[in-house]
Structures are given as structure tokens and as C-alpha cells.
Amino acid sequence: MKVLVIGPGGREHAIVRSLLADPYVSEVHAAPGNAGIAQVVPVHSIDASDPAAVTALAERLASDLVVIGPEAPLAAGVADALASAGIPVFGPSRAAAQLEASKAFAKQVMAAANVPTAMARVAVSAAEAAEALDTFGAPYVVKDDGLAAGKGVVVTSSRDEALAHAQTCFDAGGSVVIEEFLDGPEVSLFVLSDGHNVLPLAPAQDFKRIYDDDAGPNTGGMGAYSPLEWAPAGLVEEVIERVAQPTIDEMAHRGAPFTGVLYCGLALTSRGVRVVEFNARFGDPETQAVLARLKTPLGGLLMAAAKGELDRINDLAWSRQTAVAVVLASANYPDTPRTGDRVRGLKKASALEGVHVLHAGTSLSEEGKVVSSGGRVLAVVGLGDDLVEARSKAYDGVGLLDLEGGQFRTDIGLKAARGEVFGSASKEA
């Protein structure tokens, strides 16, 4: 089958890479793609959030399946346009994507479905925000209600900082969700859905803050690893039973069936599993680590979800290896990322055994050289027999890359490799 992948980032590069390994996939295209994706499949320069443009491209390419990567095209209704044209699409409708586009909506759905999550209040004014902050106390958790590309959350012990973030959202015409702080390690679980049936992938853990030891502001994600050897037995089954299936059932009940991947951002608290938040698409950079281990052909899975046939899929096959993804970000990320810097060492890093490099914010200069074009530039994925070996390979790859002002965390998976379960979970996934 012919597959069109929509999006420009590392998640999309990982998806393209997995689709190319699927013997049933004959052709892969991407739009708009990036410099790395363009090295392996044809790319098309269109606005990924323009429903008409995406549909026209899919029709011209005679695509059998369209896979939508980022959240913005989903919120713009790209999946709706494709479905109306009779083109199978992996990605939820605009109505179903509200699970990510509005945190307040997601809280309503979770309440209706009895899904365990943090207590929360929606605030539309400074007075309401102050009251909510005082109700829950420190640490304070303030989330932009709309799409924020993984960076709309402030978790702080400073009430003034929390109020300032809320005011920034109000000034932009938005609202905020203020929650109780959730203790315990965080887990990311992707659950495929065809609108009724669900199928989980392997859990992962990501690292949102820019600096080691979870310091600094939230980013879109600085690295991830999978599987989680420390995760409690039966965790995936519990999440399916208490979180994913009830949510999918509630969306179907509301007349907005969810087709695509439900990203469950979870906290393993002292009171049990709690949902931190939902995303309506594959998370980045967890996708890079999870798909590196998936042995079941990806194209067939995504097509089954698009066609409402996930119940026909048998158990998934996974590599026994561990995958670690380390993100190389540009100077000044996540505030005002510097772009246009030359990226060197790509061939050397990719030549390492058990290592592959996925492009995110890259493009080609006029001279045909790879340069940075976004905040997160690359993800280096290492595969090893255990977490220690996978980390070593990933960081060996990072060490061969050269990006002026480039930033990366040195502790992706480190504490887990030492046998320490850690982390606080009121972070945006």
C-alpha cells in the first residue's frame, strides 16, 4: 500500500522509518518532511494544517492511507477532510482531537468515564486562578487549556510564577487548567484505537525539562526510553481497563469516535495510576524509542485502526532490546531557538552499530548542507541488550554530532539504569 505521512518532525521520521521496514508498504511519501526524511522518501512542500491541500496531495498520490503526525493538523480538521474524500486516515477527527486541543474538555470526558486523574479547576481570570491555586496549594500546576506543543505547563513552588503563567494565557485570549500536583514517576503509553477497539504499545518514559535532573523549563521532550523494567506488573492492562477503553467508549457515546493513537500521560502516584493528560497523536520523542523496538509491521496496524479492524490484530511482536532516544536541541531552546546552524557528524553517528539518527528540526541550506530549522534538531536512538548498553550507544552517537550551541541532557534513563524509580508527573506530555 501507499502511505502519506503528514508532519515535519522526529516523530514523523520515526514513523516513516518503520513504514519503510513494512513489507506490505510499497511506497511512502511525506509532507512537508525535513532534511532527514527527504533522504529516504519523496517529500512535498505543503501546509500540513490545510485540509484541502493535504486531501488534494493524497488524491494525487493515490494514497491508500494517510498518517497524521502532529496535533495542529488534527485540530484543523485534516482527518475530517480526508475521511470525507473516502481516504483512510490514521488520526482522529477535529471533534475527537479535542481530547488534546482542550484540557478542560479532556477533564470532562474523564469525569464522565470515571477515569482517575488529578483534581482540577478551569480558570478564565486572575481571581479564579488565585482561588484555584490556593485550593490545591504548592507545588502549583498551571496548564494552558489549548495546544502548546508540550510547553504550556508550569510546575512551580512559586505562587507568583504560577499566576504569571496563567496571566500570560489570559492575555493571549485563553484559559487555564489548574490541577493538584501528582507525585510519583511518569509513564507514557500509546494506545491505538479504531473508534471502539484498543491496542496498547509498549510503555515509555520521557524527559520534559531542558536540563539534567529535571531542571529548567518544560520542552517538547529531551529524550525517552522503552521498555520500563521497573513498571508494576499489570500496569498496561490496568491502564486499558481504567483509562483507555473507558475514554474511547465515552468518545463514541458522544458521537465523536476516536480513531488514531491516544497518548496516555500517566502518573504512578501513591494513590494509584492517575492521568496527567491525553494527547491525540504519537508523542515525541517517545515514538522514536517505542517504534525502534516494534517488530510487527506498522503499516498494517495503522490501516487496521483506520478501517475499524483492530480486533483482527494478534499480539504485537517486540524486540527484546531496550531503546534510548536522546534529543539534540538548538541554542536558546525552548525560548527562542536559534536556527540556520550547520549540523555535522551525521554519517559518523549513523554508522555506529545499534544507532540511528532521526531528524526533527532540519532543512537543507542553499549549498545542500543540513542545518537546524527548529528547536529540537535531532534524536539519536541507541538499541542495546539493556538500558545501560542502549544509553551508551545513544550517547556515543550524540558525541559524534556537532551543532554550535547544541543542547542535550546527559541523564536520559540514567536513574532507571541505576535502579532508581523517580520523577514527578504533573508535566505536559
Q: What is the CATH number of the domain that holds 155?
A: 3.30.1490.20
Note whether 59 and 205 are same-domain residues: no
Note whether 170 and 205 are same-domain residues: no
Q: What percent of the chain has pLDDT over 90?
A: 87
Note whether 301 and 383 are same-domain residues: yes
- Grid cell, residue 130, equals 488565585
- Grid cell, residue 42, equals 519523496
Is pLDDT of 370 > 90?
yes
Question: Which of 1-10, 90-99, 114-123, 382-391 is least confident?
Answer: 114-123
Count of domains in the chain? Answer: 3
> What are the residues facing 272 on neighbouring strands?
269
Cα 335 to Cα 95, 195, 235, distances in angstroms:
31, 37, 36
Higher-pLDDT residue of 368 and 422 is: 368
β-strand 322-329 against 209-211: which pairing, if any? Answer: unpaired
Peptide bond into 42 cis (omega under 30): no
What values do phi and psi take at 161, rounded to 5? -65, -40
Among candidate residues 52, 55, 66, 57, the one with its CA nearest the CA of residue 2: 66
- pLDDT-derived band of residue 425, with 50, 70 and 90 as boundaries? very low
Is pLDDT of 423 > 60?
no
- Residue-wise pLDDT for 127-144, tens only, equals 999 999 999 999 999 988
In a domain, 104, yes or no: no
- Residue-wise pLDDT for 33-70, tens only, equals 999 999 999 999 999 999 999 999 999 999 999 999 99
Is pLDDT of 8 > 70?
yes
Note whether 135 and 13 are same-domain residues: no
- pLDDT-derived band of residue 6, with 50, 70 and 90 as boundaries? very high
3-state secondary structure 199-218: EECCCEEECCEEEHHHEEEE
Note whether 316 and 216 are same-domain residues: yes
- Grid cell, residue 248, equals 474511547
CA atoms of 397 and 391, how far apart (whole Å) = 10
In a domain, 425, yes or no: no
Q: What is the pLDDT of residue 428?
A: 40
In a domain, 246, yes or no: yes
Note whether 190 and 73 are same-domain residues: no
Q: What is the pLDDT of residue 426?
A: 43
Q: What percent of the chain has pLDDT over 70?
A: 97
Note whether 379 and 248 are same-domain residues: yes
User: What mean pLDDT is predicted for residues 307-325?
Assistant: 96
CA atoms of 311 and 162, how far apart (whole Å) = 45
- Grid cell, residue 184, equals 510519583
- Residue-wise pLDDT for 77-86, tens only, equals 999 999 999 9
CA atoms of 76 and 95, how far apart (whole Å) = 10
Note whether 191 and 158 are same-domain residues: no
Note whether 193 and 175 are same-domain residues: no
Note whether 297 and 395 are same-domain residues: yes
Q: What is the pLDDT of residue 148?
A: 55
- Residue-wise pLDDT for 392-420, tens only, equals 999 999 999 999 999 999 999 999 999 88
Note whether 159 and 194 are same-domain residues: no
Q: What is the pLDDT of residue 416?
A: 95
- CA 148 to chain CA centroid, Å, is 12
- Residue-wise pLDDT for 146-190, tens only, equals 765 545 788 889 999 999 999 998 998 888 989 999 888 999 999
Residue where a domain terminates, one of 75, 91, 107: 91
Q: What is the pLDDT of residue 152?
A: 74
Which of 119-123, 279-283, 425-429 has the largest mean confidence? 279-283
Q: What is the pLDDT of residue 66?
A: 98
Domain coverage including residue 161: 120-179
In a domain, 381, yes or no: yes
CA atoms of 169 and 36, how far apart (whole Å) = 35
Q: What is the pLDDT of residue 429?
A: 35
User: What mean pLDDT is predicted for residues 307-323?
Assistant: 96
User: What mean pLDDT is predicted for residues 13-18?
Assistant: 98
Q: What is the pLDDT of residue 10?
A: 97
Q: What is the pLDDT of residue 424?
A: 42
Note whether 73 and 126 are same-domain residues: no
CATH number, position 25: 3.40.50.20
Q: What is the pLDDT of residue 147?
A: 64
Q: How many residues in total does the chain contain?
A: 429
